[in-house]
């Protein structure tokens, strides 16, 4: 089945950004590289790639995505 193969392919590729969401309060912090750490301004929790709350659809963006600058 091709679907099963695709799910295995969930490794984070270099140069891709993930969305950091605080696991405590659910605040969306920012898009950043997975090796970043962020301090949640609301609850002071440190959010890393390991503990970040992952949305159902865990999107990744390339770092050179121009859409990011539109915010
Ligand atoms: Zn928080």
Tens of pLDDT, residues 40-55: 999 999 999 999 998 7
**Residues within 5 A (CB) of ion ligand 1:** 22, 24-25, 27, 40, 42-43, 45
State which residues of the chain have pLDDT below 50: 70-71
Print burial letters for 26-54: b (CB count within 10 Å at least 16), e (below 16).
Answer: ebebebbebebebebeeeebebeeeebee
Å from CA of 33 to ligand 1 middle: 19
Q: What is the pLDDT of residue 23?
A: 96
Percent of the chain at pLDDT > 70 equals 69
Q: Is residue 58 within 8 Å of 20, Cβ to Cβ?
A: no
Q: What is the pLDDT of residue 62?
A: 80
Å from CA of 13 to ligand 1 middle: 26
Å from CA of 24 to ligand 1 middle: 5
Q: What is the pLDDT of residue 61?
A: 79
């Amino acid at each position: 089945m091709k679907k099963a193969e695709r799910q295995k392919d969930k490794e984070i590729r270099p140069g891709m950004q993930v969305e950091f969401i605080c696991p405590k309060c659910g605040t969306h912090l920012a898009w950043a590289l997975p090796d970043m750490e962020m301090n949640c301004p609301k609850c002071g929790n440190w959010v890393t790639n390991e503990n970040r709350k992952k949305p159902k659809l865990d999107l990744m963006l390339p770092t050179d995505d121009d859409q990011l600058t539109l915010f």
